[in-house]
Structure 1
């Protein structure tokens, strides 16, 4: 899945996201595990809000996304902030992740892993490049959100020169949300249509994938309040620690 035209609506779609609270929680977890600097990867960095906050905090960030349009937005923001160093942007599919060396940790937010049909492979790839003791911090939409919040809902966004309609359909048999995005530009009359999926993963499946690839799941909390999970939590937030390197595994 790659957001293309929708990249330019993404920040508005995420307008209610509390990036400051997310950043504070991630920074706290990193520091609690002794990671105050070094190389971090943002897996599915989107428009780069969190990536750039971590860059400003002194981390050497690798922002990875499959969408060139998303990465263009990150570049523009980085230039405006004067962040020429400490940031590398890569256009890659997380199922084919290929980094140039090891990383101290990785973050993945706003349900990036829900968009991946093979969660096991995505976690394996993140773990392959991570140092022993490295931390994987990520969130995922819960089954409750897929079934009861996204469900059949439609979201509409209006800009001065364009409109965007986001439609959802939950397919219980396939355990996924079918999503379609339609964008219309008023001045040119152009129309763009994108379709993709969010896959539903329960806690047991996520925990098993982490353990299989050398991670110990330290904690799971509500991904919006960062407090305890409830039956109506819409997002999980995970903290997992790499127990051994690939060389030690072999």
Structure 2
């Protein structure tokens, strides 16, 4: 499948994500974005990267998918031609320079296979940040992986895209295995099918805090579901704001 078609699917599926709120969180934590160097880890199609750049940040995006990076580069090229995108895994992050902040948005960290990879990612980002640098990321809660994800199958239907999303409990604690069948309407009105398999794993809040502290970070705050509230038993998305 051509990357442009996949990116179109990805972007539509992300329409409900309040990316501007993510920008506001980083802006507030850094007391302004103008001139700040920011690392967008697992940048995908560059939606957040461009929004950060619109506020004056100098953004470098990394992602494991060359197809996603091609779309991100195309998205940024007209307005931010100097924006850099690097094909790299987050646990092997190695980019030149130092950054005032790094973000790992929209549960991207949950795609790492094990605890070691999570710790390596934190350590690599720690090295890339200036003293006092910010790391902001979000992850699925254990309630979401253990309860909500297992309430599938889930379906989605729009004028151009439909999917059937089936889930089952993964082998590791707080993990979920997903199989998605997408149907994308083409210009002739026919639908083309493609399939995706995803595996995500999360950890209890205190395990993330432990790994962050082992990697040299100090935890500033932990909050949930795009609010200022502390996580509770039924929170779905957990945010961490930490400093080097």
TM-score by length of 2: 0.86
Q: Considering only aligned residues, what root-mean-square deviation do their CA atoms show, in Å?
A: 2.4
User: Which string of whole-angstrom CA distances, capped at 9 and with x for unpartnered residues, describes residues 127-174 of structure 1?
Assistant: 121111111011111101112221242333446565433322223654
**Does residue 231 in structure 1 map to residue 233 in structure 2?**
yes
What secondary structure sits across from 1:9 in the alignment?
Answer: helix
Structure 1: 5+ residue stretches without partners:
243-250
Q: Aligned ranges for residues 1-250 of structure 1 at < 5 Å?
A: 6-31=6-31, 36-79=34-77, 82-85=79-82, 87-117=83-113, 118-158=117-157, 163-171=162-170, 173-185=172-184, 191-242=193-244
Q: Do the aligned partners of 1:219 and 1:240 also contact (CA within 8 Å) in 2? A: yes
Q: Do the aligned partners of 1:4 and 1:68 also contact (CA within 8 Å) in 2? A: no
Partners in 1 of 2:127 and 2:120 — Cα distance? 10
Partners in 1 of 2:229 and 2:101 — Cα distance? 22
Partners in 2 of 1:22 and 1:185 — Cα distance? 29
What secondary structure sits across from 2:26 in the alignment?
Answer: helix
Q: Do the aligned partners of 1:226 and 1:237 also contact (CA within 8 Å) in 2? A: no
Alignment: residue pair count: 236
Partners in 2 of 1:46 and 1:182 — Cα distance? 20
User: Which string of whole-angstrom CA distances, capped at 9 and with x for unpartnered residues, describes residues 24-83 of structure 1?
Assistant: 12211121xx76533210011122221111111111101111112222222232245x22
What secondary structure sits across from 1:98 in the alignment?
Answer: coil
Q: Do the aligned partners of 1:46 and 1:70 also contact (CA within 8 Å) in 2? A: yes
Q: Do the aligned partners of 2:9 and 2:161 also contact (CA within 8 Å) in 1? A: no
Q: Comparing both chains, which one has the higher relative contact order based on Cα–Cα distances under 8 Å and sequence gaps of 6 or more?
A: 1
TM-score by length of 1: 0.84
Q: Do the aligned partners of 1:42 and 1:108 also contact (CA within 8 Å) in 2? A: yes
Q: Do the aligned partners of 1:65 and 1:93 also contact (CA within 8 Å) in 2? A: yes
Partners in 2 of 1:201 and 1:6 — Cα distance? 29
